[in-house]
Amino acid sequence: MLGSDIVSVLSGLGHDVKSLGSQEIDISTPFSVESVLSPYTNADLVINCAAYTKVDLAESEFDKAIAVNGYGVGHLSRFCKSHHLPLIHFSTDYIFDGTNPRPYNEKDKANPINKYGESKFKGEFEFLDSGVKGYIFRIEWLYGLKGNHFVKTISRLAKEKPSLSIVSDQWGSPTWTYDVAEMVASVIHHKPPKGIYHFSSQGYTNWADFARTFLCIQGIQCDIIDIASSQYQTAAKRPLQSRLDITKFLSQGIYTPKRWQDSISEFIKEATY
């Protein structure tokens, strides 16, 4: 979902992009990273969009999650470090426990409450421990034209059922992968100081109100019933407050993300569901 938009945006701007899927490279294996990427050591940078993203399954498949989200990032980071290649990597709001009353900034302490978040935080550690130069962007609540996500799932279910119960006590910022891709292009062009940044759309909402917004845009009639997270049991616990403070990124003055309401409106115009 994220990688396809990044390839599309960068290619459209004239960048020579080599896209490698999971059938071509297995970042959880050092040999695969070394053998597949060795022909491209003259590249300007490496962007890692590979991730194990099955949040609930990560509770029982932690070995698979950490192999990609944790150790895999380490293999990439050390390869890039040894060949003087900058690396762009994506982390998540789920490294936080969701108890902060204000939006999380880059200096707030991580404390993941599920295995997915734990695996992603391990990836951040591996990145920083390697000494590679580059960027970690913590992003959240992604949706896009490809892949499975909340917007696609709820849009389908709302056409099948007269009402849906959706949690309204988890807060964050829905973020279109196309906007993330545009941000990456801006970072490549302007080269702000390397480090960790939070990035998302501007503004915050909860899952129930987000669903109401995009269903209304699509003209889909469905009654959304607010429920608490405690009423919707999942294998992995979710942080209640996933709001990211993007002040540090905005201070660079290189790209201004849209309000989440504007991005979802634009997205719906392009989506086929």
Q: CA neighbours within 13 Å on the CB side: how many for 199?
A: 29
**Burial class of 254 by CB neighbour count within 10 A (0 to 12, 13 to 18, 19+):** middle
Quote the DSSP letter at residue 69: I
Quote the DSSP letter at residue 193: P
- Residue owning tokens 């209640």: 240
Bridging pattern class, strands 171-172 and 205-206: antiparallel
Those residues with Cβ within 8 angstroms of residue 2's Cβ, 6 or more apart along the chain or in another chain: 49, 90, 142, 144, 177, 180, 181
CB 143 within 8 A of CB 153: no
Strand runs (DSSP E) across 5-121, as ranges?
A: 46-48, 87-92
Show the tokens assigned to 17.
């992009």
Q: How far is CA 59 from CA 31, 85, 113, 240, in A?
A: 27, 33, 11, 18
Catalytic residues: 116
Q: How far apart are CA 23 and CA 103, in angstroms?
A: 38
Cα dihedral: 156, 157, 162, 168 (round 10):
-120
